[in-house]
Every structure is written in structure tokens, then in C-alpha cells.
Structure 1
Amino acid sequence: MKKAPLYSRSRPRAGLSPAVTDAPLAAAEPAKPSLRSPRWRTLRLFLARHPRPQAALAAVLLLVLGGVAEHTLLPAPAALNQKDVDAAVRRSLEGEPLPSPYARAAAVIRPSVVRVIGLADDTDTSKASDDPKAHTRSTGTGVVIIDNGTILTNLHVVIGSKRIKVTFFDGHESEALMIGAQPENDLAVLRAKSIPDDLAAATMRGTGDLLPGDQVVAVGFPFGIGPSVSGGVVSGLRRQFRSPDGERLSNLIQFDAAANPGNSGGPLVTMDGSVVGIVTAILNPGDQGTFIGIGFAVPIENAAAAVGLPPF
């Protein structure tokens, strides 16, 4: 029995022979997306309704291309090593040197340092007191410890004086009264009758962590000259000293920063400008009373007790 021939169900196109029509269909190529397809029309409509995303997309694309170009065209910076860092620091310091630790400490304490003069009578001796040779015994230094004009100094600077005059860092002068004393530590507490604006009180620091070899600065008015700054180190702790009049002082800080008559009552400060002691004496076997490298200061704990401040 003969089988019926199989034909394509599509109609033959005009101009094509039946042979072409009946030939097996070639494998269809994948369809390419047309700009008229629904997907492209939707995208075009979205971009037309939302122009800002186009600008943002263009900006992001430009940034990305710029970063790629920079990374490609510019050479990468060389890695810094310790030698480069040291050289840069050296150049910076040579161009603008930093102040010394002594200078920084002195700058901190300077607004709190005062000149103290004990006057034996009511005569105006302001001119004579500027002479380094005048009033050697009664010329000393003090340090403001409370910004209401409360000042610490040595008792031997003001004892026996009928009048006490203090001169602050800005040149302001005032009479002062002694409101307290601690003879066993050669300390006196003064209160100025008038004070300059924005008077700064010194920062006090306990001596519990003070060690021999620590750097210190003494600021004062040696022989009335000053304020003068001298630097050194702590030479020892818990020292004893007997003054020429027989007074015995104990628990003293020994230091080698230069101190002379007139430094008495001034602050001994650490490198951060904090007061750790009140300069009170120098050791000198001779009769000249000048510095030979050994000075003593009362620890600030004792000095604070003289004022009634709580212990550190």
C-alpha cells in the first residue's frame, strides 16, 4: 500500500518553485532584538520620563572612566620609608625650630609668677627696689595659687616687713597682706589687695611620681632681676637643710637649676609647667650667698597645707 506523500502545510510563496517550497527548512538564526520591540520602547519611555537618571548615569560613567585613565596614565606614588619621614621632619624643624622644653614650661608658669618686696617702712622705695643691690634680703618671688590673688612665698622674704608689695606678670602692682604662715617650712601666704584682669593661678602637682633626673625649671627674680628662668634636674628627694639662723628644714627637693637670693619663694616646675615645689634655700659654704649647684625647694604638698588646700 502506498503511503501518502508528506507536504509542508505552508503555502508556496509567489515566484518560488515547488522544489524550493518543499525543501526542508534551514535552521532558524536567533532573532536580534529590534529597536521597535516592546522592551526597547519601555526603556525609551522610562528614560524620557526620568531625565535625571540619565545625567546621574553619565556622571558615574565619566567618574569611572576618569579614575581608570588616572590610574593608567599617572604613576603610583612611591612608598614612604622611615628615612623619608626622618628627612621631612628634619627639614620642618630646620625651617621652624620648636621651643625647648624649658621655654614651654616657663611660658606656662610665667603668668602666675609675681615679684615680692618686703618694705621696712612706709617710704616709697619703688625706684630703689629696681636696683639689684637694694633690698637683697627682702626681695623675693611668689606664685599665684588661687586666682583671687592668693600667693605663696617664703616666710623669710616678708617676715618683719611693715609693707609688702607684689608686682604681677603684666606690671600691675598691689599691696599685699600676709594671711597665713608655716614657719616649719619657711612658707608665707599673701593676699593681694588688687589683681589684674584674668589672673591665672598656677597648676600644682604632687611629688609622688617625681624622680631624681626629672627636668625642672626655676622662675624668679634673682637679685631683683627678672623674671629669670633657669633649668636643671631634680638631684634628690627628702633632703634636709639647716639655714644660717639655725632653722632646720626637712623633706626638701634638691635641684641644680640656678637659684640666687631673690629666687626665694618662686616656683619649681616640671616640664608641663606644674608647680612641684617652692624654692626656699641654696647651699653655700661661703659668705657670698651665690649658687654653687645645690638648691632646695619645699614640696608643694607642704605648701598647699599652708594655704589650707586639700592634700594631693
Structure 2
Amino acid sequence: MRVLVTGADGFVGRALVKRVTKHPECSVVAAVRQRSCAEWGASSVESAEGAVQWLELGDLAAAQLTPDSFSGVDVVVHCAARVHVMDELHSDPLAAFRAVNVNGTLNLARAAAQAGAKRFVFLSSVKVHGESTSCGRPFTADDALCPVDPYAVSKMDAERALLALSEKTGLEVVIIRPPLVYGPGVKANFYSMMRWLDRGIPLPLGAIQNRRSLVALDNLTDLIVSCLAHPNAAGQALLASDGEDLSTTELLRRLGEALGKPARLIPVPPRLLEGAGALLGKRAVIERICGSLQVDIGKTNALLGWRPPVGVHEALALTAVGFRERS
């Protein structure tokens, strides 16, 4: 099986390329936007088994993709995307997200279908269902879609466009909706949390009783590999998680243990945090810290017979090791 992975120089894509090259029945085409990315990323698969072919695709939304670029490819795994932008400068954020996440995705999928690819695995987001859940009432894969921000709207639009294309071309589409992904090399807020813990900074997050689903990088890549050929995955939207939900407080405590730096958590009531967030213009940040976002992976379990192979304790330990290596 020949597998093309877009965003092969990214957090998920890089790990997936390593994972797929170890599969005895797979070869990999690692697709990146620019050749310099391929040259930099080649070092990340030197120890992996099997050869990797690097492919420069350019801007997916504007590129003139031809079936020749996908010759022999059986499955496309689309990890590349325009992701959250903390300080958005675009005058029309939704248009910017749609250009990449909808138009670029469709451009890629059409070319893959024309080249004879059988399946297109699309990495979407749990955010297509919404920003939060009531504690103890997780999202299921068949819940209504209710995206809030431009990123999530663009992912929903891409999902719908892909399913419409599937009906016209016969290209099998598999949609995977992960929550926050963590693991060695993680960036953004998760990395910031580790830096705070490592420095022993006291955090006013010791009394948060929310529940949040996360997915370890190893678990997500394992699920993606399961979806490459599983007959039950075709045409399905699937949720991913570690199968164990944590409060923000518990996550910080366990992450501190993994780092060997016990978390210094002050039990400030969430209502005070929310009030401070509103005053400082950080309401959305505090809502994510204090709110719940749970997913139910029962459908994924039942359809694929899949279970997360890595537990949270082991995954946090691996993440901590990656943090130490980067530091």
C-alpha cells in the first residue's frame, strides 16, 4: 500500500510518516509545501524502516495538482491545515481558513481521485461539534455539528465537501476528529504548561473540576494507520481520545510528576478565574482552562475494534522526555 501524507513536516505528520514506514506492507510519500521543509524533515525519518519519497506540493489552494503527482498512491492522509492563529492579522479570518482548509483539501482530493487513489483520510477536529460539553455528557461522532470559530467552520465545510466528492467519484473518505493532541515535540499551550511546571511557577489552577479528553500522538497515529484500509472506516466520522478524561488540575499534577517537578497549584475558585479573565481580556483562554470538552470514542471502538494502545501515564512520560530533550 502506498500512502501519501500531507503536512509531513508537522507535529502529527512527522510522527505518522515514522509510524507508517515501519508497516511492512506500506511505502510512504511525504508531502510538504516547500522543498526546504522536505530537506529539513528528512532527518526525522532516518531511523525509520523503509524508504520515504518526498514530494513538494506548494500551496494546495493554488497549486496545479495533476494525477501524475499521485501515481501509485492508494491512500492519502491529509494532515496539513491552517490551524489556530493566536494573533489573527487577516481581515477575513474565515476566508483565510477556507482557502486552505476547504479549497486546498478539495484540490488535493480531486487530484487523488483522478489518479486512482482509493481512500482519503482527513484529519479534522472535535471543534466541529462545539467548544465545550457539559461535564459527563461527551460529544459522540454522530452529534450535530456546531462549530464556533472560523477554524472549526472551515473544518466542517471541508468534511461536507469531501463527502459530496466521495458520492461523485467513489473516493472513500474517512474523517477523524481529535481533541487536543500531545506528545514529544508538542508546542503551544501544552508546551507552555510544561515550562511553567518545570520552573516551579505557582499556578492558580488547583481547584478546577472539569473533564477534558486528550489524545496522545502515538494513539492518534495508531488510529490513522487503522483507518488506512479497514473496511468499516469508509464513509465514517470517528472521534479519537486516550479513553481517560482528566481535569485541568489533575493533568497538571500528573504532568508535573512526569517532569519530576511536583505542580505548585493554588486552589483558586473557577469563578474568580473567569472574572479575572474577563477583566484581562482573556475570557476565551480561561473558558478553555476551566471548561469541559469530552468525547465518546465508543463508535470508533465498535467499528474498528480499536483501543488506545498507550495509556495516559506512559504518554505523559514520553512527552516529558521529549520536553527534556528539547530543553
With structure 1 as the length reference, what TM-score do the two structures score? 0.22
Which one has more relative contact order, counting CA pairs under 8 Å at least 6 apart? 2
Kindly indicate which of the two structures has a greater share of residues assigned to strand: 1
Q: TM-score, normalised by structure 2?
A: 0.21
Q: Which structure is larger by alpha-carbon Rg, 1 or 2?
A: 1
Question: Which structure features the higher share of helix residues?
Answer: 2
